[in-house]
Homo-oligomer: A and B are copies of this chain.
Amino acid sequence: MKKYSEMSREELQALKEQLDQQYAEIKAQGLALDMSRGKPSAEQLNLSMDMMNVLANGAELKCETGVDCRNYGVIDGIPEAKRLLGEMSEVDPEHIIIYGNSSLNVMFDSIARSMTHGVMGNTPWCRLDKVKFLCPVPGYDRHFKITEFFGIEMINVPMHEDGPDMDMVEKLVSEDPAIKGIWCVPKYSNPQGYTYSRETVERFARLKPAAPDFRIYWDNAYSIHHLYNDQLDFLVEILGECAKAGNPDMVYKFTSTSKVSFPGSGIAAVAASKANLADFKTYMQTQTIGHDKLNQLRHVKFFKDLNGLHAHMMKHADIIRPKFELVLETLDRELSGLDIGEWTKPHGGYFISFDSMEGCAKRIVSLAAEAGVVMTGAGATYPYGKDPKDSNIRIAPTFPTLEELGKAAEVFVLCVKLASVEKLLAE
């Protein structure tokens, strides 16, 4: 394969004609495919169907301390659910609060609480002139939307294979007391699928923030979401590292079963120091009488323990691994050596991150949409939706069927080629 960048103008023009024709043919097929959101497929959801049965037909609805899970009470989670999500989070149950159906909601509420009430006695952020967050990029659009919604200034930090640029993080965090947090998806990151290295986690734990209320928002959304039995990424547990480093209160860990059981009907949790949990509780005790304990019980009865969770996740992996492989094979086959794109090869999580030539991402996504394939919006992986290079595209292979995905991937690589040729011709 000849690199596009080495082609003559004539070669590019000939190529473009050929690609235009292929594109017209594909467009004529009237496809309606979606590679935009990190949603499990119906086949994956079927894995948890027995969860609908575990509380049926007169099952015991008391938790292990004898509390009737049908009634009010137990604001921070039933003990067996704390144990289950504690195991999943690799922390002691006493460092866990169980929440409702969405860890995103808990992150949002944590920012909202910090705005109106401050963090552990510090000045409420709404009374400060300026509040800033560090945002490893590309990253998760819904994180960035939360900080944007509260008027928090976001600063891009480049992501590498071993995590965010820690030189930059250390410098900024130690110098600027307006920096109150950083968004992290430390394992099988969204969208790259990178896992922070031991050194990165240790450097996080040893940060010396200028702001006493600086917190690491550690969204461990894909902690057990491996793709391969024999290639498990390993992430150092940060709560323990922070304690060792004398920063016990510096991190909030978030997790949920959204992509383990049912998105929207899972359970979420926070793991943090006891001082932080007390801070969370002052808010939640006024906010609610308690979360859905029956759903907590449902999860415990279905998964039982960490082994149950892992066994379940391997069934998920068996379904989504061929999808990741299909997309990666298509990218390899169609784009390798052309010098018009790079992409990640994750061992877990829900996404592949694709970087096109500079200035092509919006055009690729728009071409794909016109041909009936919805991609995550270009720019979505950056704060304010602004990708400075207009090159990053998040590919979400899990939701479509293999057949749909094959089609969608073909459309995608065609659009990459076309946009790249257009770009080179316009130079």
Contacts and interface: CB of A to CB of B under 8 A. Distances in A.
Contact of A108 (B105, B115, B286): B286
A325 to B, nearest CB: 23
Interface stretch (A68-76, A201-209, A227-235, A374-382): A68-76
A72 B264 contact: yes
B145 A292 contact: no
Interface in A52-93: 52-53, 55-59, 61, 68-73
What copy number does this chain have within its complex? Answer: 2
A291 interface: yes
Interface stretch (A36-44, A304-312, A315-323, A363-371): A36-44
A142 B127 CA distance: 26
A150 interface: yes
Nearest to A49: B58
A275 interface: no
A139 to B, nearest CB: 16
Contacts of A49: 58
Interface string A90-107: 000000000011101100
Question: Nearest 7 pairs between A and B by C-beta?
Answer: A56-B56, A108-B287, A265-B294, A72-B263, A149-B286, A45-B70, A105-B288
Given A100-B292, A102-B288, A124-B126, 12 more contacts: A69-B265, A100-B101, A102-B290, A105-B287, A115-B115, A116-B116, A116-B126, A126-B126, A142-B289, A149-B283, A264-B290, A264-B291
